């Protein structure tokens, strides 16, 4: 594999396949990723590989590695964009019912999936209520009143149940919400920022770039697709 691989114009691995490439010496001195559960082992077994454990896929010249099975689709879409263009990749993603085509540097963990759902009924109801009321007062004091708890007890219970402080949770929801607005509406950045309680375009830019690694405008340009009928690419049997 090592001899054949060195002459290949492109080498791609999915999930733990990066371990095979590393064992063949194809990743020596290169950046690579693999499934989060085996990333540490890859780094231990092959210290000559620069392991990026949180990326969904990594390209280092002609070698591409991806994190898990589903991220192999993200990598494949990136290959379509590389060989053809970004618009074709977006159309393919749409037929695959992909929510967005994610950039390679995005975290392996979705913020929504990473959040814990509270077992306490009051905190769980609050979690369900917050996304629809992002322009309201979501301070610790206001949230504690909604649960009929003291601020101190509420803050301690929320962190125990959810794993983050109420303020961290609210900011997390407020950053995820504009991502959906940017994808599904044509609203300007000021309107988007106001609609989720961030207050200003400057704040939207700051927190958005911290979370996603790109500006809101770049995110919208990268992941939105024209809504006109697609006549060039048809689904199977279409």
What pLDDT, in 10s, does the model give residues 135-179? 899 999 999 999 999 999 999 999 999 888 999 888 888 877 787
How far does Cα 140 stand from its chain's mean position?
27
What pLDDT, in 10s, does the model give residues 7-61? 688 999 999 999 999 999 999 999 999 988 888 899 999 999 999 887 888 999 9
Delineate the domains of the chain, giving CATH numbers in brackets.
2-95 (3.40.50.880), 111-223 (1.10.10.60)
What 3-state class would DSSP assign to 48? coil
What is the DSSP annotation of 124-149?
A: HHHHHHGGG-TTS--SHHHHHHHTT-
94 contacts 100 by C-beta, under 8 angstroms: no
65 contacts 5 by C-beta, under 8 angstroms: no
What is the DSSP annotation of 95-109?
A: HTT-S----TTSBSS
Residue 99's contacts (CB-CB under 8 Å, 6 or more residues apart) are none
């Amino acid at each position: 594999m090592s001899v054949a691989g060195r002459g290949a114009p492109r080498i791609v691995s999915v999930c733990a396949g990066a371990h095979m490439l590393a064992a063949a010496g194809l990743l020596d001195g290169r950046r690579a990723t693999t499934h989060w559960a085996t990333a540490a082992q890859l780094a231990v077994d092959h210290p000559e590989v620069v392991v990026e454990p949180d990326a969904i896929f990594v390209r280092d010249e002609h070698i591409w590695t991806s994190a898990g099975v589903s991220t192999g689709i993200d990598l494949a879409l990136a290959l379509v964009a590389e060989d053809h263009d970004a618009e074709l990749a977006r159309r393919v993603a749409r037929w695959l019912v992909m929510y967005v085509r994610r950039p390679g540097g995005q975290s392996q963990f979705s913020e929504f999936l990473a959040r814990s759902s509270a077992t306490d009924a009051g905190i769980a109801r609050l979690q369900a209520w917050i996304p629809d009321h992002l322009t309201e007062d979501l301070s610790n004091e206001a949230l504690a009143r909604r649960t009929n708890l003291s601020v101190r007890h509420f803050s301690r219970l929320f962190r125990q149940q959810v794993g983050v402080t109420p303020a961290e949770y609210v900011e997390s929801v407020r950053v995820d919400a504009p991502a959906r607005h940017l994808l599904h509406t044509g609203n300007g950045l000021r309107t988007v920022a106001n609609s989720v309680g961030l207050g200003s375009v400057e704040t939207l830019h700051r927190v958005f770039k911290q979370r996603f690694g790109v500006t809101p405008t770049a995110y919208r340009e990268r992941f939105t697709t024209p809504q006109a009928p697609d006549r060039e690419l048809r689904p199977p049997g279409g």
